[in-house]
Amino acid sequence: MNTWVLPDNARLRELLAFFEFDVSRAKAGEDASIDSGLPLEPVAGDFTGGQFYLCGEASSERPVLYASSEGQAGLVANNLREAVELVVGLPHWRDCLTFADFERKSAPTSRQSEAARLLALELPAQEVLLARLHAAVLRSAPDYVFRDETGEYEGL
């Protein structure tokens, strides 16, 4: 299977950190696991201590799970490429989960355009990103329920 990988580029890493997908903050949580038993690979972190994990074996297309530092977790994307499209194309994605009527449409910023160019991606419309996010979150239970040394996390 041909899986997508992040290009190794210092400017891209800087831009992704701006979008709170900082690959330098990827760290394995103590006793981090999901109910399916699939392996978790930390891929990025955000400034609040939240972590993005690839779920499953490296030889397969792996969904991406986000675990916040506040004890909520769930799937956010079907694969790494879609996760990066989400954080770059819909930087306020967390707000879209918290507030039922939250939707902020805006033209892409220069940082979003530059990140998309460095990633060789055409960012989907915000409505598409939002629909993907909600679909992923709904698939979280029961197989992708996250837990660590503090216990079981709530859903996103």
Who wins on pLDDT, 38 or 96?
A: 38
Q: What is the mean pLDDT of residues 78-100?
A: 90
At residue 72's C-alpha, the angle toward residues 75 and 104, to 5°, is 70
The pLDDT assigned to 84 comes to 97
CA 114 to chain centre: 19
Give the strand order in the sheet containing 146-148. Answer: 33-34, 146-148, 151-152
Residue 86: pLDDT band with limits 50, 70, 90: very high
CA 122 to chain centre: 18
Residue identified by tokens 């996390």 is 153
The pLDDT assigned to 1 comes to 46
Q: How is the chain split into domains, by residue range?
A: 10-151
The pLDDT assigned to 138 comes to 95
Q: Could you report the per-residue pLDDT of 29-75, keeping only the tens digit for each?
A: 779 999 999 999 999 999 999 999 999 998 778 999 999 999 999 99
Cα 5 to Cα 12: distance, rounded to the nearest angstrom:
13
Q: What is the pTM of this model?
A: 0.92
99: pLDDT strictly greater than 70: no
Q: Name the most confidently modeled range: 27-31, 91-95, 142-146.
A: 142-146
The pLDDT assigned to 103 comes to 56
Residue 105: pLDDT band with limits 50, 70, 90: low
Whether 96 contacts 133, CB under 8 Å: yes
Residue 156: pLDDT band with limits 50, 70, 90: very high
Cα 115 to Cα 105: distance, rounded to the nearest angstrom:
18
Give the count of beta carbons closer than 10 Å to the beta carbon of residue 136: 23
Whether 138 contacts 102, CB under 8 Å: no
Q: How far is CA 79 from CA 13, 100, 101, 151, in A?
A: 18, 25, 26, 25
Whether 90 contacts 148, CB under 8 Å: no
Who wins on pLDDT, 141 or 1?
A: 141
